[in-house]
Amino acid sequence: MSTAAVSLGLPPVPRVRRSREEVEAAAEVRGPKRVLLAEPRGYCAGVDRAVITVEKALEHFGPPIYVRKQIVHNRHVVETLEERGAIFVEETDEVPEGAMVIFSAHGVSPAVHQEAAERNLRTIDATCPLVTKVHREAVRFAKAGQEILLIGHDGHEEVEGTYGEAPEVTTVVNDVEEARTVQVKNPDSLRWLSQTTLSVDETMEIVEVLRERFPNLQDPPSDDICYATTNRQSAIKELAPRADLVIVVGSTNSSNSVRLVEVALQYGAKRAELVDFAREVDESWFEGVATVGVSSGASVPDVLVQEVLDLLAEYGYSDVEPVVTAEEDILFSLPKELRAKLREDGDDSRVLGGRGARPTT
Ligand code: SF4
């Protein structure tokens, strides 16, 4: 095992890729090589808005700007913002008194707002408006005396934030198993809500199990799983049955990206892999492969997808067919604290976040 480089803190030795000819010699490819490219993929309006928020805050308030947690779950985005002067911290107590801190797109609980106020931090809240919608629902239903089953992944920042709105009446349900065993105090005044980035199908399975046990369970007023998650899963469902291999660009801590890999496998892809960068693609995955599906999570800039497409082209997959299942034109205003500063400084270059506002950075 070549652990020496790691233990000595030396950079890893770059891997030499096998050539296209070597890969093709390893296994016969039946049929023409092609790529099915999911559309929509990549940046959603909430992520674009959050990233612009940090960029504009750096530009107008100057570094350092602190950001609680990863602004969005993507290594490339976080590293790029760090280079520009953003400092990512886990908790607000790591931020010096009086400094500026941005809350990430995943949202925070009221307790975090409180801590920030107690330490005189200047805050900008980049919580996605669709996450805020779920927070408001939790508050409203708790005030109305309802008990809440929050479907989502324990420990995910978004779930921590929503749970924190009404902890005394909320129980997190992670999966079907927990749906079978969860205990409630008030089955006749019960509501389910969910994390915004779950698998649509899996969530419905969980709800079915809950409803069998609690027939009076009430739905959220509108879908909590957001449009971006739903649309990216729909595109993957369309291309997966035709793909020998699906490559999803996204980080392992990105819930919606991980769900895309799972959905691809559920819908018939022979293999599905998650990569942060093109350099993580292993050319052995191409052995015997005619059709490669490509998509990316909602926190992934398209430049990273383009690098994967360039790599695929080197291995003969240059024929790219878009698989379009939806058009997206959602836009969100930047956080109000930032808008005020942009107005003051006469900057009206970016007041909205969303696809089309910045397609390829
Ligand atoms: S994935 Fe959905 S909820 Fe999350 S930031 Fe994007 S639009 Fe908002």
Q: What is the pLDDT of residues 276-318, one digit of tens each?
A: 999 999 999 999 999 999 999 999 999 999 999 999 999 999 9
Buried b (16+ CB within 10 A) or exposed e, 96-108: eeebbbbbbbbbb
- How far is 223 from 230, CA to CA, in rounded Å? 10
The residues, ordered by sequence, that sit 6+ positions from 126 with a Cβ below 8 Å of its Cβ are 49, 50, 53, 54, 71, 102, 103, 104, 105, 335
Q: What is the pLDDT of residues 76-87, one digit of tens each?
A: 999 999 999 999
Residue of 69, 127, 128 with the most ligand 1 atoms within 8 Å of its CB, for mutation: 128
Q: What is the pLDDT of residues 217-276, one digit of tens each?
A: 999 999 999 999 999 999 999 999 999 999 999 999 999 999 999 999 999 999 999 999
The answer to whether 100 touches 52, Cβ cutoff 8 Å, is: no
Q: Round the average pLDDT of the chain to a whole number and report it.
A: 93
The answer to whether 310 touches 23, Cβ cutoff 8 Å, is: no
Instruction: Provide the annotated active-site residues.
Output: 158
Whether the predicted pLDDT of 202 surpasses 70: yes
Whether the predicted pLDDT of 2 surpasses 70: no
Q: What distance lies between CA 176 and its chain's CA centroid?
A: 22
Closest ligand 1 atom to the C-alpha of 105? 5
Residues 159, 164, 166, 172: is their CA dihedral positive or negative?
Answer: positive
Q: Is 105 in the pocket of ligand 1 (CB under 6 A)?
A: yes
The β-bridge partners of 322 are 37
pLDDT at 13: 57
Residues 349, 86, 260, 30: is their CA dihedral positive or negative?
Answer: positive
- Report residue 357's pLDDT band, with 50, 70 and 90 as the boundaries: low
- Report residue 358's pLDDT band, with 50, 70 and 90 as the boundaries: low
- How far is 272 from 285, CA to CA, in rounded Å? 10
Q: What distance lies between CA 209 and its chain's CA centroid?
A: 26
Q: Is 134 in the pocket of ligand 1 (CB under 6 A)?
A: no
> Kind and range of the H or E element at 170?
strand 170-173
- Higher confidence at residue 10 or residue 290? 290
